[in-house]
Amino acid sequence: GQQVMQIPQYQHVQEGEDFTTYCNSSTTLSNIQWYKQRPGGHPVFLIQLVKSGEVKKQKRLTFQFGEAKKNSSLHITATQTTDVGTYFCAGPEGGGADGLTFGKGTHLIIQP
Amino acid sequence: EPEVTQTPSHQVTQMGQEVILRCVPISNHLYFYWYRQILGQKVEFLVSFYNNEISEKSEIFDDQFSVERPDGSNFTLKIRSTKLEDSAMYFCASSQSRNTIYFGEGSWLTVV
């Protein structure tokens, strides 16, 4: 079955440093989505990328979708303590399926 | 902002007992989902529901699981005979167009 892999599993940064998490799929994705989950919270939708090579920005967050539509990245510039949480990428289970396959997530820990 | 609401927030049940988790999706949404997250692990897709029937289910969603939309607002997940390994956070989610998925805050199930 489809696998979605994320690295790193954990990332410790000093507040103000940048952060990047990478996502790789074993299959070509029709789209990729990113979610943030605060400790003890639920996943919150951040963005969906659909087009090959697409880049989208949300304030300090930059999302990229690879040309082959098998990889993606999330980059946060100048992290703040509010960025703490786990960042998951997710892709459709297969074809145009409804369900999402999530990566294991990258836990972002920020030291003030 | 509209929310997906879930009840109960936490349930403790004995192994072998039946459990029903309830969800009220966002009112104009058409697609409904259940996901689960075992403590410290990734979010896993269980089932999607559209047009009053299951549209997709994962390998996890075996005969012990069932879903229902008994009326126009509730969406339930039933686990017939709970096992210890069913202990997890269960997230209900809904979407209007299979793109942005909104998650509820989850129901934490502990099987003892």
Q: Is B96 on the interface with A (CB under 8 A)?
A: no
Q: Could you read off the pLDDT of B25-81 as tens digits, one per residue?
A: 999 899 999 999 999 899 999 999 998 999 999 999 999 999 999 887 899 999 999
What are the chain B neighbours of A31 within 8 Å (beta carbons)? 99
CB contact under 8 A, B106 and A44: no
What is the per-residue pLDDT for A98? 72
Count other Cβ atoms within 10 Å, centred on residue B40: 9
Mean pLDDT of the B91-97 span: 93
- Give the best residue of B101, B105, B107, B108 to mutate against chain A (max A CB count within 10 A): B101
- Give mean pLDDT in consecutive 10-residue pieces for chain A, a chain of 112 residues: 89 97 94 94 95 97 97 98 96 72 94 85
Give me the residue from B33, B42, B58 closest to A103, CB to CB: B42
Q: What is the per-residue pLDDT for A96?
A: 53
Mean pLDDT for B14-19 is 98
SS3 content of chain B, % helix, strand, coil (to 5): 5, 50, 45
- Rg over CA atoms, chain B: 13
Q: How many CB pairs under 8 A join A and B?
A: 56
The C-alpha R_g of chain A, in whole angstroms, comes to 13
The distance of Cα B40 from the centroid of its chain, to the nearest Å, equals 18
Q: Which residues of A touch B61 (CB under 8 A)?
A: none
pLDDT of residue A99: 83
Judge whether A40 is closer than 8 Å to chain B, CB to CB. no
Q: Are A85 and A38 in contact (CB under 8 A)?
A: yes
